[in-house]
Amino acid sequence: MNKDKSELRDVNVEKAVLGELLFEPGQIENYAHLLSESSFTTPENRVLVNAVLAVWHETGSVDVVRVADRLSRDGQLATVGNIEGVKEYLEAIPHSYHLAKHVETLLDLENRRDWIDRLAGLISDVKNRTTPLDAILPAEWITGATSSTPFDGYLSCAGLSEASCDVEWLVECQIARGKPHLLSAPSKSAKTLLVIDLVVALASGTEFLGSPCRKSRVVVVSAESGMSAIKRAAEKAAASRGMTLRELGDNILWKFEVVNVSDPAVVARLKRDVERVGIDVVVIDPVYLCLRGVGNEASNMFSMGDHLSPLSGLCTAGASVVLIHHFNRAATGAGRNYTPPKLDDMAYAGFQQWCRSWHLMARREPYDPEQRGVHRLWLNCGGSDGQGMALALDFNEGIADGAVWCLEHRAASEERAETNERRASEKASRPTTADSHDDRMERALRQHGRTWLATRDLASHAKLANEAGRASLVRLKESGKALERPGNRQGSSVWLLAECLPEVGEPLQKAQANASQMVPQATTSKAMPGGRKKGKASKTTKRRKNGTTGRDDETTGQSPSVPRESGPDGTPNGTGRDSPGGMGDFFYSFPVPDHGEGNEL
């Protein structure tokens, strides 16, 4: 190693990384694709990392004994100082959770050493005078200036008109390549299931929601649902397209743990993998778990812009970033009345401004547990490249006996038209308001049997306004179900259920005529009954003169000039506690034609 490159190494960090991999073999999966022999500089470290990676690829597990056995079989155990030398690496660990930082340092040093080799090659080419400089170096290096004109790097209108800006669709008229996309819905609204269907459609090059997909390679970071649920859904989505999950091969790469995508270093490594492997789509499910360190800044658009901006780097590498997000609390469940979703329903700041396209989902009706795995949803699709679609989804995830994965869709306008037609039919079949009022008024009349009641009292019992109660009583009278007679006050009426008045065989018309003739007599203005002149007599005196012992005449509803006969209990007719007329201010009792025994109904 030349002198310049020897300065770009850290043997202690190299030993710490190897020791940490031996101490925590479960971490090798996260870094095996990043580390190689060229990441280390000393012979013993290079021999050991090759042995560690070889044992992990063969057995899926690593420990000191297995690594020492591999070194022994390869004849290189002595290079690292036998098994005691391997154990010494464990003593070089400063702290296990520093592994990520140590690996990042190793990769940075490796990258710098590579640049020294590249620059050394450039120097050699520059010294070769037969090779033109413009074939070796960038133009700005040759001129010696990084900006030769004002506003260098800005684009003129002529340059803009010549630029190629054709949209490359991954899902026709839904998701464009190299742009951020958001799929958002309320909690437990089948978001992940729809994402799985999307991912399988992309990996297989089949249709998604009726739109053709370009066959793509996809990375899925699933930090919430769990491997078993994802596997079951992916297998069913693949089977619905006539294939098995295994047939999709490495077109889908899965990761079932949290990845901190707000960390620029993590996103930089992910971007490098995207470029190396040729990934077209990166799915982050859900975003709230993978955006670490947001805290109370979630409502601040400027702060959220800082957290989301590293993900834009993946888009510049040519990958579409699909974030799975939730709605805010006000837009969840029955509170939204199961209406189509909108961008304002998304939780937290910055997301709707950052994304260039979106799928928004919400339930059309409450989830029915008896119909297992059946979801009826609204879906709105939009974007800055002219996307626009509103659908009604009927999604069966195929978990009930005999059910299969099925995602049916139709235009939202068709669903709304069917819903409006169904509601109009239901409304037509329901009783009208007038019918409902009449039923309530008839029940009130029936409840009080043979007692005449004033309009306002019946309306109160039926829980209706006076005007509505009066209109209902008039309709009942016209239909022959109620009888009306004048009340004690001028212009007032009292009412009785028609079936309570006539005896069997007596025509209703005759009963109605008899009832209408029984009009209370008006009190003369010259004298009270018994010849006494009108004066300020007490109510008790009035009752005695009238032959009453109950409440005053206005309460009982009987004219003072009409003496009342005694009832069976010895009290004046209609005023006893057990008689219909003795129930207080709400009731009116009038004498009726004699139909046999007594004169009460």
CATH number for the domain spanning 309: value is 3.40.50.300
What integer pLDDT is reported at residue 528 of this predicted model?
39
Domain boundary among 460, 484, 517: 517
Beta strand 252-255 pairing with 218-222: parallel
Q: Which domain holds residue 21?
A: 3-114
Same domain, 407 and 272: yes
- Count of the separate structural domains present in the chain: 3
Same domain, 229 and 199: yes
pLDDT of 384 strictly over 70: yes
120 part of a folded domain: no
What integer pLDDT is reported at residue 585 of this predicted model?
40
| 3-state DSSP of 4-71 | HHHCCCCHHHHHHHHHHHHHCHHHHHHHCCCCCHHHCCCHHHHHHHHHHHHHHHHHCCCCHHHHHHHH
* Ranges of H-type helices in 135-291: 139-143, 157-162, 191-204, 227-239, 264-277, 287-290
Domain boundary among 420, 441, 475: 420
Q: Say whether 293 sits in a helix, a strand or coil.
A: coil
Distance in angstroms (rounded) separating the CA atoms of residues 590 and 579: 12
Which two three-digit tokens encode residue 560? 């003072």
Domain boundary among 361, 387, 420: 420
Which two three-digit tokens encode residue 423? 């509601």
Of 50-64, 322-336, 585-599, the range with the lowest mean pLDDT is 585-599
What integer pLDDT is reported at residue 423 of this predicted model?
84
Distance in angstroms (rounded) separating the CA atoms of residues 16 and 377: 53
Same domain, 327 and 281: yes
| Domain CATH for 76 | 1.10.860.10
Q: Which of the residue ranges 224-228, 261-265, 553-557, 576-580 has the most confident prediction, judged by mean pLDDT? A: 224-228
174 part of a folded domain: yes
- Class of residue 556 by CB neighbours under 10 A (exposed 0-12, middle 13-18, buried 19+): buried
Of 240-254, 348-362, 566-580, the range with the lowest mean pLDDT is 566-580
pLDDT of 540 strictly over 70: no
pLDDT in tens, 241-273: 999 999 999 999 999 988 888 888 788 888 888
What integer pLDDT is reported at residue 208 of this predicted model?
95
Same domain, 395 and 464: no
CA–CA–CA angle 351, 356, 361 (5° rounding): 65
What integer pLDDT is reported at residue 414 of this predicted model?
93
Single pTM value for the model: 0.54
The residues, any chain, with a CB within 8 Å of residue 183's CB and separated by 6 or more, are 191, 194, 195, 198, 322, 323, 324, 325, 358, 359, 361
Pick 90 or 347 by higher pLDDT: 347
With a pLDDT cut of 90, the percent of the chain lying above it is: 27
What integer pLDDT is reported at residue 139 of this predicted model?
66
Same domain, 248 and 326: yes
pLDDT in tens, 392-445: 999 999 887 778 899 999 999 999 999 889 888 887 776 667 778 888 889 999
> What DSSP assignment string belongs to 328-365?
-GGGSGGGGTTPPP-GGGBSSSSHHHH-SEEEEEEESS
pLDDT of 80 strictly over 80: yes
What integer pLDDT is reported at residue 294 of this predicted model?
85
299 part of a folded domain: yes
CB atoms closer than 10 angstroms to residue 592? 18
Same domain, 305 and 229: yes
What integer pLDDT is reported at residue 236 of this predicted model?
94
Same domain, 438 and 411: no
Segment 557-577 shows an average pLDDT of 41
Same domain, 257 and 388: yes
Segment 517-536 shows an average pLDDT of 44
What integer pLDDT is reported at residue 355 of this predicted model?
92
Is the bond into 286 cis (omega within 30 degrees of 0)? yes
What integer pLDDT is reported at residue 87 of this predicted model?
81
Which two three-digit tokens encode residue 273? 């993998």
Give the residue from 587, 578, 576, 552 showing the smallest Cα distance to 461: 587
What integer pLDDT is reported at residue 594 of this predicted model?
43
pLDDT in tens, 82-136: 888 888 887 777 654 467 777 788 888 888 888 888 788 778 877 777 777 777 7
284 part of a folded domain: yes
Same domain, 362 and 241: yes
| Domain CATH for 498 | 1.10.10.10
Same domain, 200 and 346: yes
What integer pLDDT is reported at residue 513 of this predicted model?
56
**Residue whose pair of structure tokens reads 């742009």 in the numeric block:** 179
125 part of a folded domain: no
R_g over Cα of the chain: 45
Confidence band for 325, pLDDT divided at 50, 70 and 90: very high
What integer pLDDT is reported at residue 584 of this predicted model?
38
pLDDT in tens, 455-512: 999 999 899 999 999 999 999 999 988 999 888 888 888 998 888 875 433 455 555 5
Q: Which of the residue ranges 120-124, 159-163, 508-512, 561-565 has the most confident prediction, judged by mean pLDDT? A: 159-163
Of 171-185, 274-288, 572-586, the range with the lowest mean pLDDT is 572-586
Same domain, 405 and 305: yes
Same domain, 206 and 256: yes
